[in-house]
A and B are shown apart, each in its own frame.
Chain A
């Protein structure tokens, strides 16, 4: 069974800092990997989707990379802002059409 791990569970950084969030998965037979953010009391908002044939995707200040061979994905946030404070979750879609979510990294950007 696929296991998805996100470390650290919580992260606090000063405004303006560049940061990296990590996502590890045990089964490299994934179809895609998706990053989400969740604000307190809200649903999940899709940030980026990386197909298994891709290495990275970019959207604004966000860049997500995927290394299937090592079972890792990273989400890079440039020039962090207080509005980036949220919980970030990654989800791996296995070729068996099952989504597996990590437990998330809670990010706080301090003004």
Chain B
């Protein structure tokens, strides 16, 4: 398996623009997690899905953030409108039945 796939790997955008991050989990995994990592706050869980259903989105910072998982092999994290404080590395991870988590390479987002 290719592991968790994320795209794009780097994204530079201007404040106010919409940003969409994409994730393809490992085939057969039924849980998917979106994290954000910054130097100041470390690794934060934003939202996780189980069997394509959002279970806990309490980590989503505000209504500008939304996430979807239309099927077992694809998820998106959208920020609209983006702000400079959203600059971070966004990770997607997947697991089977909340066992070992496998992380993607991350998307480095810079909002100017």
Query: How far does the alpha carbon of A101 sit from the alpha carbon of B91 in the complex, in Å?
Result: 14
Minimal beta-carbon separation of B3 from chain A (angstroms): 9
In the complex, chain B residues 58-108 whose Cβ is within 8 Å of any chain A Cβ: 91, 93, 98-106
Q: How many residues of B contact A (CB 8 A)?
A: 19
- Chain A 72-91: CB-based contact to B (< 8 A → 1; otherwise 0): 00000000000000000101
| B contact residues around A45 at 8 Å (CB) | 103
Contact B101 A91 (CB under 8 A): yes
The chain A residue with its CB closest to the CB of B92 is A43
| A contact residues around B105 at 8 Å (CB) | 42-43
Q: Is the interface of B mostly helix, strand, loop or mixed?
A: strand
| A contact residues around B106 at 8 Å (CB) | 42-43
| B contact residues around A99 at 8 Å (CB) | 33, 45, 48, 101
Contact A49 B98 (CB under 8 A): no
Q: How many residues of A contact B (CB 8 A)?
A: 19
| B12 in the interface (beta carbon within 8 A) | no
Minimal beta-carbon separation of B52 from chain A (angstroms): 15
| A contact residues around B56 at 8 Å (CB) | 97-98
| A contact residues around B50 at 8 Å (CB) | 97
Of the A-B pairs whose beta carbons lie under 8 Å apart in the complex, a sample of 9, sorted by A's number, is A31-B98, A34-B100, A42-B105, A42-B106, A46-B100, A46-B101, A97-B98, A99-B33, A101-B43
